[in-house]
């Protein structure tokens, strides 16, 4: 994977600390104003290395190919869905315009958008659990959500996807393309962390139930 475009921001108030964080496709590196050009160059290279290593650790075990994605789906079914969701195939597909993933219960096939290949592993896991749960309950009803919420990072993953959607203005409204309703506050959206400094989460309202078919 190619290294991201880098923007350097100097600050006279920043005395010693160097940090970096993602802003869209860019990596922004924050450095003290007194640093020389040589120090800046060295630190930018180091922060790119750290961020890429951090992102690599978070990526899904299934990101490499369809076979790995299928294996991950079966692992998640066994762990969170009592092994009852039995997909016939799970595969990566070219970017879908209005959804992150889709499931066809009739033939037990699941498709995951290529947009999610570089998402954190726990987000891809949520999307897989969401689609696997459709093999147990096709509708977004209480039974469906009772299965999905066995995955402990459901609310955080929903918040992450909402934030990703808002940032990219993709027009995606839910995992399956169904409109979601934010019924109650529950947790916080997970933001991209700042490596070497601090990142965090902000208050969010997660959709706890989806409507539509």
DSSP letter string, 67-134: HHHHHHHHHHHHHHSTT----SEEEEESPPSS-SEEEETTTTEEEEEGGGTTSBHHHHHHHHHHHHHT
Is pLDDT at 72 greater than 90 in this prediction?
yes
- In this predicted model, which residue has the larger pLDDT, 122 or 55? 122
Is pLDDT at 207 greater than 70 in this prediction?
no
Dump pLDDT digits (tens) for 178-192.
433 333 323 333 334
CATH for 66-210?
Answer: 3.30.2010.10
pLDDT classification of 81: cutoffs 50, 70, 90 = very high
**Taking residues 66-72, what's their average pLDDT?**
92
- In this predicted model, which residue has the larger pLDDT, 212 or 69? 69
Q: What pLDDT does residue 141 have?
A: 94
Is pLDDT at 201 greater than 50 in this prediction?
no
Q: Who's near 93: CB < 8 A, 6+ residues apart? A: 111, 112, 113, 114
Hey, which bits of 158-208 come out as E strands? 180-181, 188-190, 194-195, 201-203
Q: What pLDDT does residue 15 have?
A: 76
pLDDT classification of 88: cutoffs 50, 70, 90 = very high
Residues 175, 100: Cα–Cα separation, whole Å: 5
Is pLDDT at 168 greater than 80 in this prediction?
no
- Mean pLDDT highest for which of 16-20, 130-134, 194-198? 130-134
CB-based contact 172:201 (threshold 8 Å): no
Q: What pLDDT does residue 188 have?
A: 30
Find the helix or strand (DSSP H, E) in which 153 lies: none
Residues 119, 102: Cα–Cα separation, whole Å: 17
Q: Work out whether strand 188-190 and strand 201-203 pair parallel, antiparallel, or are unpaired.
A: antiparallel
Domain ranges of the chain: 6-58, 66-210
Is pLDDT at 107 greater than 90 in this prediction?
yes
Q: Who's near 130: CB < 8 A, 6+ residues apart? A: 101, 148, 175, 176
pLDDT classification of 162: cutoffs 50, 70, 90 = confident
Structure tokens at 149: 């919420």
Residues 71, 74: Cα–Cα separation, whole Å: 5
């Amino acid at each position: 994977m190619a290294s991201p475009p880098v923007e350097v921001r100097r600050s006279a108030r920043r005395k010693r600390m160097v940090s970096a964080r993602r802003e869209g496709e860019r990596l922004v590196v924050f450095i003290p104003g007194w640093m020389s050009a040589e120090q800046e160059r060295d630190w930018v290279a180091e922060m790119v290395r750290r961020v890429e290593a951090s992102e690599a650790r978070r990526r899904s075990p299934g990101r490499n190919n369809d076979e790995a994605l299928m294996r991950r789906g079966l692992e998640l079914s066994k762990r969170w869905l009592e092994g009852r969701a039995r997909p016939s195939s799970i595969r990566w597909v070219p970017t879908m315009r209005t959804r992150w993933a889709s499931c066809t219960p009739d033939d037990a096939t699941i498709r995951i958008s290529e947009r999610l290949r570089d998402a954190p592993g726990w987000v891809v896991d949520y999307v897989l659990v969401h689609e696997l749960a459709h093999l147990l309950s096709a509708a977004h009803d209480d039974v469906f959500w009772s299965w999905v919420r066995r995955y402990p990072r459901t609310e955080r993953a929903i918040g992450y996807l909402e934030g990703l959607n808002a940032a990219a203005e993709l027009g995606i409204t839910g995992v399956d393309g169904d409109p979601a309703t934010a019924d109650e506050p529950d947790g916080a959206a997970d933001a991209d962390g700042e490596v070497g400094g601090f990142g965090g989460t902000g208050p969010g309202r997660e959709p706890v139930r989806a409507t539509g078919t």
